[in-house]
Structure 1
Amino acid sequence: MRGFLTALCLASCSLHVAAFLGFPWGSAESDWNLCASVDGRPCDCPDDVFEADRAGLDCSYRDIGYLHDGAVVPLRFKKVDLSNNRLRNFTATTFSSNNSHVTELDMAANLLSVIPPNAFVNLPGLLKLDLSNNEIQIITNDSFNGIANLSSLDLSHNKLHVFEANTFMLLPRLQRLQLKYNPVNFLPDSLFTGLFNLTHLDLTHLQLVALHNELFTDTTSLEELSLAFNELGSVPTKALFKLSPSLKVLDLSGNLFTELTSYSIYNMKRLHELYLRQLIYLKAIDDYAINECNNLRNLELQLLPRISFISSRLSYTRLETLPEGLLNWTLVKSLELSHNQWRCDCHMAWIKGSPVEKLVGENFYCSLPNRLRGSPLSQLKEEDFVCKASDDYPDPKQWGVVAVLLLVGVLASITTVAFLFYRRNGFLCRKTDNYSQLKAASRETITVVDSSAVSNTDAELNVA
């Protein structure tokens, strides 16, 4: 009896300690519901269906240090938030196999150090996975097995030193990948193999010193890439060239470039935005450093304290404005700005009388606003550079011309349709036949002759 009471006491004490430490209730031998109605349950589980769909199952900031195997998420929850806890382990058996409805899992700001193989195999419906702000040092190419539908993965702010080849090959539908703030200095050339749907890639604040020329071979849909604040000594031109058909936004800020040589950024056909900020070692920008970027609209060159030579050619892009503070224009030796779509409004007024006006000469023409379209900079006065609300809309005379043309087009279409209709129905361009001679005829005045009767009569006459 005394032994039984001692065992019961120990069991009770163990349960109370588990509750105090934030350990969820459950049994290693059976599944357990994260929203079970027991005291000290670790999660906030709203009963309202709409609120459950909006907020999901919230287990964040609960000081949870351990999850028993076989966790089950009620069907009304598609999102599970386990962020900002003390979780150190996550394995394939942490969740039971009854969780295919879960589409989002947030495990940010925990103490995870390893993502073992098949860790998420019981969550096959995952679309978004956040593992940021942990202490992850090891990821294998089997870590993400079983979640082939994943579209967003965040591994930023971890302690990853090395990536295995083909780490993300099992995620063919991945669209967004965050790897920023990891102490990585090398990426294997096959790291992004199979990521044909990747559109956003953030490699900010790694320790990259170079990029393999074939690194982006499979990322044929990549639209936004950040390589900011790495240790790149030169622009990885050959690697970036693989992205020329798709890349729209490129950030190369904060690297160790000393010079932007000719064709550093070349033939980026869809590039809209290029950021070159805080390049504290950059001394020179050579001719054609940025070349054949025909859709470039926003170029930022800021905080370049050592720049001493700029021979900038920014022709054949879609730039509309040139900020006064973009560069120290007194240091620019030559400047080519032709064949752009310059908007000559109040934001460009500074250019009159500036060193830029002397450099661009007769090759600077306004495209906007309409009142200044085609005007060369040399013929404009400072008072022409004003911002008017009407500049954003076509001139009233142009509206009148458009209205007249539309009216003429409509009338011509109606006339054509009417002509074809009447001609098809026999009212136009058709010869008059015998029936047209019947005027105001009615059913009573038209005699219908029985052809058989006529034939019989003719026969009788012949016999006679």
Structure 2
Amino acid sequence: MKVLMLLVFPLLLAVSYGNVKLCLKCICYKKALIQPLYTVGCSHLGLQDTFPNLEQWPEYGQQEETRMAVNFDWNDIQHLKKFPHIPGIVSLSLQHNKITKIAGNAFVELDNLKVLDLSYNQLTAEGVQADVFRGRYSPQRYDPLGIVVLNLGSNHIHTLSPYSFEHLPNLTELRLSYNPLKVLSPSTLMSLGSPDRLQILDLSYTGLSDLPEAFVQLTSLRHKLQVLYLNGNQFLRVPQTLAALGDSLQKLNLNDNPILELEEDSYRGLLSLRELNMSAMSHLRRIGPSTFAHLRSLEILYCSYNHNLTELDEEAFGYGDNPWTLRELYLRSNALHTLPVHLAPWKNLAVVDVQDNPWCCDCNLNWFINELVPLLADITPDLVLGLHCSEPLQLSGMSFLSLRNPANSSLLCGDMITSTSKTVWDHSVQLYSAFQAVIIVLLVAAAGLAILYYLQLRRNAMHSIQTQFSNIRYMKAKTET
């Protein structure tokens, strides 16, 4: 018992003075890789600070060659204080806290910090000032922070300070999703123009309805931006200003925007785009001819869960003489009843997902059943299971695979035509028989009427003769008298 007290008392004393060792409170783990990676897990501990004293951190974290990922997620931190000199930290996550304020030069001692996650906090523009991300400075030299990835998503940022990122020249990925920006103000644009090599920008769910010309003309974006997230905004059409980013933009996400129709000019100028996401558009009804004609580098197209999309023009890709580049096509859970046979060179696609559409299994879709389904079954058999007929009624709910089953061969288009023809013929025979019966009845009735008429004429004639004979006898009798 005494030995236990001797061990526990220093720990309790350290806790009372706020000097508890980090690895006694958090979970420290070493992953044996080519270069060891240390992880520090301090989440869900109700912490109000991040161990500001250097003595609390493990010694290996103070070594330049160390690689350490630190996690302070899901705590009660409100005021983020300056970190001690821990050059081993390369990744720092502070998600799901209550941070409203960050101390100036908070990260200046983290020489090798590359990834910083401050998402799901309560930061505003005042909490993201330039001095927060200031690096080491002396009259002889200035060493900016080496942060490459910065996540400020899900905060309360309406606008950014013009100089928020001026000390982050190495920033290549910036995430501002789920902030109530609504418009890209001049100060926000100026802030976005600070990094020299921005490649990934996330503006999803920020309430935007327009991309101003000043945005796409930023020197930090022109010829550099490769990935742009605009999903979950209020765009009624694809921003035409995106064409200015056409020589560098490779991935564009427009999911969940109230776009009604896509047409030939929608993606004009995006010559380098390789991946396009345009799913979950509840208002989208039509994709017109040549919509994707300008996307000469497109390899992956996501166009799924558009529950009102009923029309997909067979010339939607309209490449003409341009080489076919598309490799993956996702058209799942739309409202498509048919699929144009000439929409794509189907054999050139590695993935085709057209499940969960209300297909009308008539003769127009016979090529689909006999040609495309076998192709899909060989390449991606798991993407065929969700193919079902919704029309006609006698095929409703039947899978495409069962349609191709020899036992159900009578349900294929040719046999449906035969069955339909037989039904029509049977109806014709029945109608002809009924017509014959009516004719016979009419003929019998006419014959009966003719006989009656003849008998009546004969009766009248006999009556006339008898009358004449009676008159003769009467006249003869009168003469003789």
- For the aligned pair, the TM-score class normalised by the smaller chain equals 0.5 to 0.7
Distance 1:87 1:267, change over 3 A: same
Distance 1:355 1:149, change over 3 A: farther
| 2:107 equivalent in structure 1 | 120
| 1:181 equivalent in structure 2 | 178
Matches within 5 A, 1:45-444: 45=28, 53-67=36-50, 69-71=52-54, 73-77=57-61, 78-91=68-81, 94-96=82-84, 98-138=85-125, 139-146=128-135, 147-187=144-184, 188-216=188-216, 217=218, 218-219=220-221, 220-238=223-241, 240-307=242-309, 310-311=312-313, 312-314=315-317, 315=319, 316=322, 317-320=324-327, 325=332, 328-330=335-337, 337=343, 342-343=347-348, 355=364, 385=375
CA distance in structure 2 between the aligned counterparts of 1:347 and 1:280, rounded to whole angstroms: 22
CA distance in structure 2 between the aligned counterparts of 1:248 and 1:114, rounded to whole angstroms: 36
**Alpha-carbon deviation of 1:148?**
2.7
Residue identity over aligned pairs, in percent, reads 22
| 2:436 equivalent in structure 1 | none
What do the CA deviations read for 1:292-321 (whole angstroms, capped 9, x no partner)?
111212222223344465545202442246
Contact residue 329 and residue 355 of structure 1 kept, 8 A: no
| 2:468 equivalent in structure 1 | none
What do the CA deviations read for 1:68-116 (whole angstroms, capped 9, x no partner)?
754454441333332222111123xx323x3333222222222111234
Contact residue 89 and residue 112 of structure 1 kept, 8 A: yes
Distance 1:170 1:354, change over 3 A: farther
Q: What amino acid is the match of 1:185? A: K
Q: What amino acid is the match of 1:100? A: P
Q: Secondary structure at the match of 1:266?
A: coil
Q: What amino acid is the match of 2:325? A: R
Q: What amino acid is the match of 2:164? A: T
**What's the C-alpha RMSD, in Å, of the aligned pairs?**
4.1
Distance 1:243 1:47, change over 3 A: closer
Distance 1:76 1:228, change over 3 A: same
**Alpha-carbon deviation of 1:184?**
2.1
CA distance in structure 1 between the aligned counterparts of 2:95 and 2:73, rounded to whole angstroms: 5
Please, which moves more after superposition, 63-72 or 201-210?
A: 63-72
| 2:407 equivalent in structure 1 | none
**Greater Cα radius of gyration, structure 1 or 2:** 2
What do the CA deviations read for 1:242-284 (whole angstroms, capped 9, x no partner)?
3322222211011122232431112322322211112122244
CA distance in structure 1 between the aligned counterparts of 2:120 and 2:51, rounded to whole angstroms: 23
What do the CA deviations read for 1:125-163 (whole angstroms, capped 9, x no partner)?
211111122221231233222153111112222222222
Contact residue 256 and residue 280 of structure 1 kept, 8 A: yes
Q: Secondary structure at the match of 1:201?
A: strand
CA distance in structure 1 between the aligned counterparts of 2:27 and 2:331, rounded to whole angstroms: 53
**Alpha-carbon deviation of 1:349?**
11
Q: Secondary structure at the match of 1:153?
A: strand
Contact residue 308 and residue 335 of structure 2 kept, 8 A: no
Q: TM-score, normalised by structure 1?
A: 0.60
Q: Which has the higher helix share?
A: 2
Q: What amino acid is the match of 1:265? A: Y
| 2:64 equivalent in structure 1 | none
Contact residue 332 and residue 354 of structure 2 kept, 8 A: no
What do the CA deviations read for 1:312-343 (whole angstroms, capped 9, x no partner)?
520244224656757545588x99747x6743
2:30 is the alignment partner of 1:25: no
Q: Secondary structure at the match of 1:189?
A: helix
| Runs of 5+ consecutive residues of structure 2 not aligned to the other structure | 1-10, 62-67, 136-143, 380-481
| 1:8 equivalent in structure 2 | none
Q: Secondary structure at the match of 2:37?
A: helix
Distance 1:86 1:221, change over 3 A: same
Q: What amino acid is the match of 1:206? A: T
Distance 1:67 1:284, change over 3 A: closer
CA distance in structure 2 between the aligned counterparts of 1:259 and 1:159, rounded to whole angstroms: 32
Q: What amino acid is the match of 1:225? A: L
Q: TM-score, normalised by structure 2?
A: 0.58
| 2:382 equivalent in structure 1 | none
**Alpha-carbon deviation of 1:345?**
9.1
What do the CA deviations read for 1:30-74 (whole angstroms, capped 9, x no partner)?
xxx756xxxxx5444569998994333333333222357544544
Distance 1:59 1:112, change over 3 A: same
Contact residue 349 and residue 382 of structure 1 kept, 8 A: no
What do the CA deviations read for 1:393-413 (whole angstroms, capped 9, x no partner)?
xxxxxxxxxxxxxxxxxxxxx
CA distance in structure 2 between the aligned counterparts of 1:195 and 1:152, rounded to whole angstroms: 12
CA distance in structure 2 between the aligned counterparts of 1:383 and 1:181, rounded to whole angstroms: 41
